[in-house]
A and B are shown apart, each in its own frame.
Chain A
Amino acid sequence: MANSDPLKCDVLVIGGGMAGMAAALFTANRGLSTVQVGMTSEIVFASGLLDLMGVHPIKEKKVWQDPWTAIDSVVGDLPYHPYAHLTKNNIKASFVEVLSFLEKEGLAYCREENHNSRMINPLGKAKVTYCVPKSMWSGVEALGKKPPCLIAGFRGLGDFSARQIVETLQMKWPNLRAAKIPFPDTSHVNELFTGDILAQSLELSVNRKKLVESLEKHVGDAEVIGLPAVLGMHHTDEIISELEEQMGVPVFEIPTPPVSVPGLRLNDAFIRGLSEKGVKHFPQSRVVKVGREKTEEFTAVIGHKPVQTIVLTKRIILASGRFWGRGLYADRHRIRETIFDLPVRQPENRDQWHADNLLDSAGHPVNLAGVEIDSLFRPLDNSGRPFFPTLFAAGSILAHNDWMRMKCGSGVAIASAYGAVKASLPLA
């Protein structure tokens, strides 16, 4: 069905990942009519944890307790890092705005404002992060105090091994015990079923009752119980309260490898909440091309005929991601930005993209490639000037940010989206 009338809006957000969702939230909260375009993004693979800043310099593997002094250090050493274009107050404000939105959508997060936290990850390591879903917070506390603890996995959820977690952590936490219990809903025998199926099953109280019965056989003297993060899709906090009441001890979720339920919950919360705020969302769509009119408006073509929409807007926030999101594309010789063909800062040739070792302590130079910006989050052209006065960029498409090694992915996404939106406002 062709949509013949162009859609007009104050801002077009390109991208459905963390940066795109945050940008759409910030613009909607400020009364700007917003259209958002994106494919299912990396959020569904996310663990649910929100990192702010964890490791710097990455070569020294220095882990920081206080993310804010970490940011000071990063900005001092790496003046082109996206955080360098933001004040700490702005970064803080961006987090407050996103977290209060998520809380209203039923996805409460916990954190210590001036401190990183550690959460158990599926390998049994204590991962450094900043914001942790409420459903996982008792795990953060338990990791600190190390009381007798039961970690239980489900038969059939092959990505999550309670035994692996316990064996790895046990040296530092002797009172840890593992158990493997049958999944209460036995209609999926012998399959390796995914987390979201389990989570839906646990929305039913009959299955939760069986879960409690299984856990009771194993709980012993445990003072806290850890389970894979499949405790319901939309009523996790209530489900956990109910379990805690029945078991008499705190219960916490542990992140699983992708596709992860907390990631799905985040995605759902954003989509639902943004829709309620009037953001017009084109899911599973891409911007095919963007033109510029004499009126200094952008004309963006979304999707392909016969289902195609034209959007007219004065400002665009490009949060299209890296290779996974197709915001960047690499052929055998070079990396390009796929919508505007913006200059991409990159190593001279492919031989310099990756180190010889996967886990090279300096990381891979290709991860620092990306779009360069000015202090107003505007991508630069080849002469170092803003490509267009009302084109802004945010998120992982930005250069100078090895988020995977620095542990700052969500932080850069949220904070740079905030910076980009703020910069775009005076033009409203």
Chain B
Amino acid sequence: MSDLETQVLIIGGGATGTGLARDLALRGVQCILVEKGELNAGASGGNHGLLHSGARYVSNDPVSAEECRLEANLLRQLAPQCIEDTGGLFVAVEGDDENFIADFPRLCAKCGIPIREISRHEALEKEPGISEKLIAAYLTEDGAIDPFKLSLENMAQAQSLGCGCLQHTKVNGFEMRKNRIEAVHVLDAESGRQKRIKVDQVVNASGVWAAEIAALANIPINMLYSKGSLLVTAHRLSHRVINRLRPPSDGDILVPGGTVSILGTTSVRIHSLDNVRPTIPEVDLIVDELAEIFPSLQEARYVRAYAGVRPLIQSQERNDDRAVSRGYAVLDHTHDGLENFTTITGGKLTTYRLMAEKTADLVCKKLGVSSPCLTLTEPFPSPRKGKWTEPGLSSRVWLKESAPRKPILCECEMISEDIIDHVVETMGEENETLSLKAVAARTRMGKGLCQGTVCGMRVAAHLYEQGILQRDQGLENIKAFLGERWKGERTVLWGEQLIQAGFKEALYCGLLDLEL
């Protein structure tokens, strides 16, 4: 067992974990982040991509509402490259709760959230897809944020400042002595080797797995799991974030995601974190609900659906030195007998920076480090790692290129050979195992209309020609890649998308015998 050593071990590579790594690194604290899968494998990789103005929470969670307002403003200034400042539109249609509508402006004002009422005519002009049955419309400051880019950029800067990042590395034990964790045991899934990391402080930022991790330290955390499903359309249908103006419910929000639109969401209580997937009843519910404010959603083409799980901590009576918000919880486990163990969980993507700040404050206090938090003022450096996750970027780059063009491997997203080569190179530098699935996660490969039909073959062929895939690895790679796409496709296979899926099966099974 080889030993590593660090000041702070961060468990979990989502927005919170990577945000925390950046915050600590900027304060000059040495840290290592371990992630059992790939960055954003949890809720950070399965959400709506919504930068909340806070307007949605004014009725049921005004504290979160204000936090969102402040954080969204900050992120717009400091991380503009991860954000599309689309603006938002809250819309009510005939039959929606009129008292709620009447109360809305007052509640927003109370939280300091700027909104502007517009006429029916102006709303239809600004968003032609809105239902003619609308009875109220308010402009807000909601926007769209790319969570993959966000985490990749957070981590990239943290690494440039000396932070380590170990993906495919799972925590499987704590070495505890008296009231401290001395070391953390981790398993490197790729090499199969156990590693031991000597630590000063440990932060559990593992999202829905927080209870599982805490259990390794014999600390019980009562967690509930709420699944939320989302759908992706083939084309972008609205300019702005469109939100139902009614008490928050399922199927309320339509968010632009670059070249597509994302619809959601649901909240289904689940009891197991295994095999979390959207279901057909959820998909149908979301389409039916949102079609009430945006009718073209009934006939729209959907490319895929996905689900994320929200960790909810059951509230407990406690002497509070945790940041108080119904959204997130910072748990200082000194109360549970371990003075160098902290859990941060819950919250929203929009407030990840604040969560990281609160956690870093606590951890630095324990370390005796007095540097201030710099994430309030430090802008993100210019983009590097997260670049190719931006929707539409590949096509724009390809079009602009004046040099002789490299062949296109993914036609739906216009990803050329040299983008794939660049991603492969970057992954090599970071000692990431190369697979079709991993390359796809760093680009938009497979996320377009054909859901991997064309690019699956072409990228596999290219990786063989480059000597990266050998023997019959291509078969397992293609199976894993297509299997991943399938999780998202299955619930939206009707109309055109069913035709595409049939074509894909005809190619991969009918001709290529992939299933045999």
Contact = CB atoms under 8 A, between A and B. Distances in A.
**A in complex with B:** yes
A168 B479 contact: no
Interface string A111-137: 000000000011111011000000000
Given A356-B490, A358-B483, A190 B513 contact: no
Contacts of A161: 460-462, 464-465
Given A160-B461, A332-B287, A351-B280, A167 B469 contact: yes
Contacts of B498: 323, 330, 366
Contacts of B338: none
B511 A255 contact: yes
Nearest to B515: A359
A168 B461 CA distance: 12
Interface residues of A, number: 58
A189 B461 contact: no
- Name the residue in A63, A156, A171, A404 with the highest tally of chain B Cβ atoms < 10 Å from its Cβ: A404
Interface in A148-163: 156, 158-161, 163
A121 B483 contact: no
B458 A47 contact: no
Given A123-B474, A322-B502, A407-B510, A163 B464 contact: yes
B407 A359 contact: no
B494 A332 contact: yes
A361 B514 CA distance: 11
Contacts of B465: 161, 163-164, 180
Most chain A CB atoms below 10 A, which of B470, B483, B506 = B506
A189 B405 CA distance: 9
Contact of A125 (B409, B471, B473, B512): B512
A332 B284 contact: yes
A254 to B, nearest CB: 12
A361 B280 contact: no
Interface in B475-506: 475, 478-479, 482-483, 486, 490, 493-495, 498-499, 502-503, 505-506
Contact of A167 (B280, B404, B457, B470): B470
A127 B511 contact: yes
Contacts of B323: none
A258 B511 CA distance: 10
Contacts of B408: 192
Interface residues of B, number: 52
A236 B486 CA distance: 39
Contacts of A329: 495
B507 interface: yes
B515 A164 contact: no
B406 interface: yes
Contacts of A404: 505-506, 509-510
Interface string B295-319: 0000000000000000000000000
Contacts of B493: 330, 350, 353-354, 366
B474 A257 contact: no
Contacts of B515: 61, 359, 361, 405
A156 B469 CA distance: 19
Contact of A358 (B287, B486, B511): B486
A159 B474 contact: no
A130 to B, nearest CB: 14
B513 A158 contact: no
Contact of B474 (A167, A358, A407): A167
A313 to B, nearest CB: 29
Contacts of B502: 322-324
B320 interface: no
A163 B472 CA distance: 11
Interface in A394-408: 403-405, 407
A358 B498 CA distance: 13
B511 A354 contact: no
A258 B332 CA distance: 59
A159 B472 contact: no
Given A159-B458, A190-B405, A123 B475 contact: yes
Given A161-B461, A168-B472, A323 B499 contact: yes
Nearest to A123: B512
B102 interface: no
A359 B509 contact: yes
B324 interface: no
Contacts of B482: 358-359
Contacts of B287: 332
A342 B469 CA distance: 48
B285 to A, nearest CB: 12
B458 A331 contact: no
B512 A156 contact: no
B500 to A, nearest CB: 9
A191 B408 CA distance: 8
Q: Which of B405, B458, B464, B503 has the most CB of A within 10 A?
A: B464
Contacts of B473: 167
A350 B512 contact: no
Contacts of B469: 164, 167
Contacts of B516: 55, 61, 63, 125
B91 to A, nearest CB: 23
A168 B471 CA distance: 5
A368 B284 CA distance: 23
A121 B512 contact: yes
A81 to B, nearest CB: 17
Contact of A121 (B404, B503, B511): B511
Interface string A213-238: 00000000000000000000000000
Interface in B364-409: 404-409
A170 interface: yes
A354 B279 CA distance: 12
A164 B471 contact: no
A223 to B, nearest CB: 24
A167 B461 contact: no
A45 B502 CA distance: 13
A45 B512 CA distance: 13
Contact of A124 (B409, B474, B479, B490): B474
A52 B514 CA distance: 19
A385 B507 CA distance: 36
B512 A158 contact: no
B511 A190 contact: no
A187 interface: no
A163 B461 CA distance: 8
Given A191-B407, A350-B494, A359-B483, A164 B460 contact: yes
A357 interface: yes
Contacts of B494: 330-332, 350
Nearest to A169: B472
Interface in A55-87: 55, 61, 63
Nearest to B460: A164
Contacts of B474: 123-124, 164, 167-168
B483 A125 contact: no
B471 A167 contact: yes
A42 interface: yes
A258 B512 CA distance: 11
A301 B498 CA distance: 27
Contact of A42 (B462, B471, B506): B506
A357 B479 CA distance: 10
A409 interface: yes
B507 A121 contact: no
A366 to B, nearest CB: 8
Given A47-B511, A167-B474, 12 more contacts: A128-B513, A156-B407, A167-B470, A190-B406, A192-B408, A257-B511, A329-B495, A332-B284, A354-B490, A358-B483, A359-B483, A366-B493
Interface of A: 42, 45, 47, 49, 55, 61, 63, 121-125, 127-128, 156, 158-161, 163-164, 167-168, 170-171, 180, 189-192, 255, 257-258, 322-324, 329-332, 349-351, 353-354, 356-359, 361, 364, 366-367, 403-405, 407, 409
| Ranked 9 nearest A-B pairs via Cβ | A161-B461, A192-B407, A164-B464, A358-B486, A404-B510, A359-B515, A351-B280, A190-B404, A323-B499
6 contacts: A164-B465, A167-B472, A330-B498, A358-B482, A404-B505, A405-B509
